[in-house]
């Protein structure tokens, strides 16, 4: 892992280094925890490399995360493509349910973002004790949130599907998928939060291998239940549930064994309200941002279904869902480099090196911009064969291909904007992301999508104008906030 070239240098409690670290003011007070207890020392950390190697450090840290994101992307892509072999109604149903599953993970940001920011900052400050307390409290919180989300989705699946899907067949399929998929959300919450914390500690390799197992299970079981037993949408849903539960279990096993100084311990699972408060203080605005995104996307989906009537509405919606699943290709490098940026920004701030934190974020945005430009070129060139692979309906292909080619030009700004959002989160500046998202999503995306898609009869492309304006403005505002530098003063 780049900064940890061999096992001897992996972070962990090191008896040779344990002890009180001298402070500039001559006291033994831990600035990060506010206590008089000397922090346990971590071995070699991400902040130890020369400045000239920072670009390489970003790349090496992001690379395993890119593999993980690809595998995560394949889970939803496999589900959508398998549904495409059934019917366009199944494509719309499974695509909608997968869409909802992605938004459900946004609810986990309340814990994941706050805990990640805390752990990264503590690793930079070499305070493994506080980082470990953060891990344990975050996992308890993740368990509770995952269980709550499961209950909500079980009750809301049918009315939700009826509102979003215009045909009875598609609505019934979607409701069935969601009710089955709901049983995986607790495990998904545990893996989402647990692996986010592991990445914040600088290990992006272990989460990748866990996602390898999840992806293989999803493909094998879903295809067996669909083609072998003929279970249709039910089989696809069960395959996804089994895979996610396996991911949650593997995450818990890894953390019980201990990884990079982080370990689940029974004694640390009791409520620790100061730590919970720190996680919530950073995570709450992120949860608010996720809520705004969820609301906006629900409205946006509804607008897409309004761009046509009858069967044409299902055609537009299926084309939209396929494109959104494909746009996940852009999210692969964007989220990978966002994670690297967030980890480095947090750790460099903990090490009191804000200028290096800023440089790491800019390098990550640049690298992500280049990669998402390549994704955009691929979208434009391979739009027709991609839609032919994803759907056997000629109407869906006819609507989706032109819109998808226009979407290609907006991918670089989308990717760079995601990296700057993650950089601000890594610094604990989640309020800025909340404010920007509220402006761009609710006040730009929704009204423009309705205007161009419905009022002016622009169809799918018209609705997407709102989405593209949202992406461009969000990138510019997030980059502006980062350059302004207020995030350097945020306390976690």
Backbone angles phi, psi at 4, to 5 degrees: -130, 75
Q: What is the DSSP string of 372-389?
A: HHHHHHHHHHTHHHHHHH
Asked if residue 30 belongs to a domain, the reply is: no
Task: Tell me the mean pLDDT in the region 289-295.
Answer: 85
Task: Tell me the mean pLDDT in the region 408-416.
Answer: 94
The band of 294, judged by pLDDT with boundaries at 50, 70 and 90, is: confident
**pLDDT 10s digits, 241-260:** 999 999 999 999 999 998 87
The band of 431, judged by pLDDT with boundaries at 50, 70 and 90, is: very high
Share of the chain above pLDDT 70, in %: 89
Q: What is the DSSP string of 270-306?
A: S--HHHHHHHHHHHHHHHHHHHHHHHHHHHHHHHHHT
Task: Tell me the mean pLDDT in the region 271-297.
Answer: 90
DSSP conformational letter for 422? H
Out of 87-91, 178-182, 191-195, 457-461, which region has the weakest mean confidence (pLDDT)? 87-91
Asked if residue 2 belongs to a domain, the reply is: no
Q: Is pLDDT above 90 for 78?
A: no
How much is the CA Rg of the chain, to the nearest whole Å? 22
Asked if residue 121 belongs to a domain, the reply is: yes
Task: Tell me the mean pLDDT in the region 234-238.
Answer: 90
Asked if residue 115 belongs to a domain, the reply is: yes
pLDDT averaged over the chain? Answer: 84
Q: Is pLDDT above 80 for 478?
A: yes
**Which helix (H) or strand (E) segment is 436 a member of?**
helix 430-437
Asked if residue 15 belongs to a domain, the reply is: no
Asked if residue 32 belongs to a domain, the reply is: no
pLDDT of 50 reads: 58
pTM for this entry? 0.78
pLDDT of 47 reads: 57
Q: What is the DSSP string of 194-238?
A: HHHHHHHTT--HHHHHHHHHHHHHHHHHHHIIIIIS--HHHHHHH
**pLDDT 10s digits, 434-445:** 999 999 999 999
Out of 1-15, 46-60, 153-167, 473-487, which region has the weakest mean confidence (pLDDT)? 1-15
> Tokens standing for 262?
């982080």
Could you give the residue ranges of the DSSP H alpha helices within 38-127? 54-84, 88-107, 109-124
Q: Is pLDDT above 80 for 49?
A: no
Q: Is pLDDT above 50 for 297?
A: yes
pLDDT of 167 reads: 77
Asked if residue 260 belongs to a domain, the reply is: yes
The sign of the CA dihedral 242, 194, 61, 278 is positive
> Tokens standing for 256?
């019980």
Task: Tell me the mean pLDDT in the region 25-37.
Answer: 36
Residue 17: count other Cβ atoms within 10 Å of its Cβ.
12
> Tokens standing for 411?
């991918």
Share of the chain above pLDDT 90, in %: 48
Asked if residue 143 belongs to a domain, the reply is: yes
Q: Is pLDDT above 50 for 15?
A: no
Domain count within the chain: 1
**pLDDT 10s digits, 139-154:** 999 999 999 999 999 9
pLDDT of 190 reads: 95
pLDDT of 464 reads: 94
**pLDDT 10s digits, 176-209:** 999 999 999 999 999 999 999 998 888 888 888 8
Q: Is pLDDT above 50 for 160?
A: yes
> 122 lies in which domain range?
49-489
């Amino acid at each position: 892992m780049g900064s940890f070239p061999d096992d001897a240098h992996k972070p962990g409690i090191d008896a040779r280094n344990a002890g009180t670290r001298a402070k500039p003011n001559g006291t033994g007070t831990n600035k990060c925890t506010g206590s008089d207890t000397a922090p346990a020392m971590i071995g070699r950390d991400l902040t130890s490399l020369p400045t000239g190697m920072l670009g390489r450090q970003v790349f090496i840290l992001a690379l395993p995360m890119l593999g993980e994101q690809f595998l995560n992307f394949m889970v939803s892509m496999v589900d959508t493509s398998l549904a495409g072999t059934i019917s366009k109604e199944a494509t719309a149903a499974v695509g909608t349910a997968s869409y909802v599953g992605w938004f459900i993970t946004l609810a986990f940001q309340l814990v994941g973002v706050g805990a990640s920011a805390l752990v990264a900052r503590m690793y930079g400050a070499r305070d493994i004790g506080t980082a470990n307390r953060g891990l344990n409290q975050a996992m308890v919180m993740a368990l509770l949130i995952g269980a709550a989300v499961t209950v909500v989705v079980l009750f809301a699946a049918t009315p939700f599907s009826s509102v979003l899907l215009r045909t009875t067949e598609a609505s019934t399929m979607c409701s069935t998928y969601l009710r089955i998929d709901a049983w995986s959300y607790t495990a998904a919450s545990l893996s989402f939060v647990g692996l986010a914390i592991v990445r914040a500690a600088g290990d992006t390799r272990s989460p990748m291998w866990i996602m390898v197992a999840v992806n293989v299970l999803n493909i094998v079981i879903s295809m067996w239940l669909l083609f072998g037993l003929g279970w249709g949408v039910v089989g696809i849903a069960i395959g996804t549930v089994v895979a996610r539960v396996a991911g949650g279990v593997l995450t818990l096993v890894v953390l019980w064994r201990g990884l990079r100084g982080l370990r689940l311990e029974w004694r640390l699972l009791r409520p620790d309200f100061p730590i919970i408060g720190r996680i919530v203080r950073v995570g709450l605005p992120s949860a608010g941002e996720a809520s705004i995104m969820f609301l906006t996307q629900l409205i946006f989906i509804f607008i897409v279904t309004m761009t046509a009537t009858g069967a044409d509405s299902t055609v537009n919606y299926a084309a939209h869902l396929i494109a959104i699943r494909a746009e996940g290709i852009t999210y692969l490098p964007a989220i990978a480099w966002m994670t690297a940026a967030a980890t480095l920004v947090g750790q460099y701030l903990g090490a009191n090196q804000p200028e290096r934190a800023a440089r790491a974020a800019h390098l990550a945005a640049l690298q992500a911009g280049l990669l998402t430009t390549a994704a955009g070129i691929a979208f434009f060139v391979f739009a027709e064969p991609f839609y032919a692979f994803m759907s056997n309906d000629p109407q869906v292909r006819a609507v989706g291909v032109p819109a998808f080619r226009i979407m290609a030009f907006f991918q670089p700004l989308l990717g760079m904007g995601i990296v700057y959002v993650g950089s601000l989160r890594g610094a604990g500046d989640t309020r800025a992301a909340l404010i920007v998202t509220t402006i761009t999503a609710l006040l730009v995306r929704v009204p423009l999508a309705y205007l161009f898609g419905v009022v002016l009869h622009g169809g799918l492309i018209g609705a997407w104008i709102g989405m593209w304006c949202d992406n461009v403005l969000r990138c510019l505002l997030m980059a502006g906030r980062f350059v302004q530098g207020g995030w350097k003063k945020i306390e976690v």
